[in-house]
Amino acid sequence: MTRQMKNDTTFKELKKSGYTDKTINQEIQANLIAKIKAKEPVFEGLYGYEDTVIPQLKKAILASHHINLLGLRGQAKTRIARSMVNLLDEYMPIVKGSEINDSPFQPISKYARDLIAELGDETPISWVHRSDRFFEKLATPDVNIADLIGDIDPIKAATLKLPYSDERVLHYGMIPRANRSIFVLNELPDLQARIQVSLFNILQEGDIQIRGFQLRMPLDIQFVFTANPEDYTNRGSIVTPLKDRIGSQIFTHYPKSVELAKQITEQEALISPEDRDKIQISDLAKNLLEEVAFVARDSEYVDAKSGVSARLTISAMENLFAAAKLRLLETGSEKTSIRLLDFMSIIPSITGKIELVYEGEQEGADHVAKILIDDAIMVQFESLFPRIPKLEKEGLKTPYTDIIQWFNSNHLELNYADTDKEFYKKLNSIKPLTTLIEDNVPELDENEQNFCKELVLWALTISKKLDKSENTSAFNFESVGIGQFFRS
């Protein structure tokens, strides 16, 4: 829904309306306090941060601090910064035509001061919506002082016939243009040290220097910085005097439970309502997807310092639905459900989201992705079923003996493109498997029990009780040692 524009007014009418001029800190604090008193949510969609990050954010705002959000990639740092816009007033009055959002009550640019001196109460006032009071810049090594602070504009000087000593020849950079706004500088350690130095006075004293041109310009900005702890050693660092000027440093973190991770993925994954209606996904499949990220964060093959972004499971969820949608298109079916077999389609989501250590590089990204999926499968399997014994004792029956023996005279081919009817007819032909499911997870619905059947077969192959082979369109499950016989 588009916002309704607010009509221009005059300085006289603005004062008559009873408008009170506030600094951005006062404005954000007032709106935060109002939301807290009304028991309204302040930062929505930040699952898992309710008792950690969000209370620290509230305190930093109440303390009028600039904020540094420190955490690994995919920990919602930018989302937090963007959500602060909701704490701004809906509209803010500025001197019409001002490049730097001059308040008519406290003008700081020569343009605004001269206009108010000339027109007084008849100075035209325009309104800026809060969505236009958010400025964001990615700190890359090529960012220069002109980008952030500004530079002398020789074309302005020539057009206006002004000397370079005149303030009107300045071209303001992003920071002065963010006056009375929120300015987010992402990946701060990537900013060159000499550029970081240029922020000292802005944060503390409020003056800027452009090519020796020194202005006392008390900019009113809420700064939010983001940084990755890895950057302190691998790519750059935040210079100490700058860190000293940032009031609050808040550490972010990954979700601490599968349930929280599921909420984040559900919120962020781009899946159409039509696809959600046609494709059913069980809670077990959702849990398994999140478990892949959890095991990746503890894997010996993955660089823990780099982290495993929440974007891994978001992208993986989208790939799961894409695999199921492709099946619907190829089979002409109306509906389908997510299968364990479909999890092979998330491998590209894993390989693109993890940084491997040396041992992982030796294994290869695709192979590591399959290991992570297998590890996640075993975590979920062992939460539902008895552990598979490593050694079979002669004459001693285990819960899996009948299933393993079934494969002594049978083999199973599960095809990606099978319709649900064909796919589950094959799984249901293994009577000992159905019995195991009924004995251990009778409370699960039919869709989850079907998923469990695949889970058991996969766990038996990981535990080397069955053989599993893969071709371009299917997986074959067979007894250990006779797989070659069936494949031939």
| C-alpha distances in Å from residue 76, one per residue of 42, 132, 355, 433 | 15, 21, 19, 42
Q: Distance between terminal CA atoms of the chain?
A: 62
Instruction: Evaluate whether 86 touches 98 at the Cβ level (below 8 Å).
Output: no
**Domain membership flag for residue 23:** yes
Has residue 260 got a pLDDT over 60?
yes
Tell me 208's DSSP state: E
Which residues does residue 478 pair with via DSSP β-bridges, in sequence order?
A: 467
pLDDT of residue 393: 67
- 346 and 439, same structural domain? no
**Domain membership flag for residue 277:** yes
Q: Which of 339, 366, 384 is the last residue of a domain?
A: 384
pLDDT of residue 235: 54
**Domain membership flag for residue 1:** no
- Indicate which CATH number applies to the domain containing 223: 3.40.50.300
Q: Which domain holds residue 404?
A: 390-488
- 310 and 197, same structural domain? no
**Domain membership flag for residue 177:** yes
- 240 and 297, same structural domain? no
The 10s digit of each residue's pLDDT in 165-217 is 677 777 788 988 999 999 999 988 888 888 888 788 777 766 666 666 666 67
Compute how many other C-beta atoms are within 10 angstroms of the C-beta atom of residue 74: 19
- 279 and 217, same structural domain? no
pLDDT of residue 73: 85
- 265 and 214, same structural domain? no
- Indicate which CATH number applies to the domain containing 285: 1.10.8
pLDDT of residue 170: 77
**Domain membership flag for residue 3:** no
pLDDT of residue 182: 96
**Domain membership flag for residue 371:** yes
Q: Structural domain tally of the chain? A: 3
pLDDT of residue 213: 62
Cα(448)–Cα(282) distance, integer angstroms:
6
Residue with tokens 């929440």, as numbered in its chain: 310
Q: Which of 251, 280, 312 is the last residue of a domain?
A: 251
Q: Which pLDDT band holds residue 377 (cuts at 50, 70, 90)?
A: very high
Residue whose C-alpha is closest to residue 304's, from 79, 68, 73, 78: 73
Has residue 436 got a pLDDT over 80?
yes
**Domain membership flag for residue 2:** no
Strand, coil or helix: what is 322? helix
Residue 455 in tokens: 């889970």
Which residues does residue 415 pair with via DSSP β-bridges, in sequence order?
A: 474
The 10s digit of each residue's pLDDT in 120-167 is 999 999 999 999 999 999 888 888 888 888 777 777 777 877 776 677
**Domain membership flag for residue 424:** yes
Q: Which pLDDT band holds residue 395 (cuts at 50, 70, 90)?
A: low
Q: Which of 384, 404, 427 is the last residue of a domain?
A: 384
Could you tell me the pTM of the whole model?
A: 0.83
- 373 and 283, same structural domain? yes
Cα(473)–Cα(488) distance, integer angstroms:
17
- 271 and 211, same structural domain? no
In degrees rounded to 5, what are phi and psi of residue 37?
-65, -35
- 360 and 420, same structural domain? no
The 10s digit of each residue's pLDDT in 43-70 is 988 999 999 999 999 999 999 999 999 9
- 94 and 25, same structural domain? yes
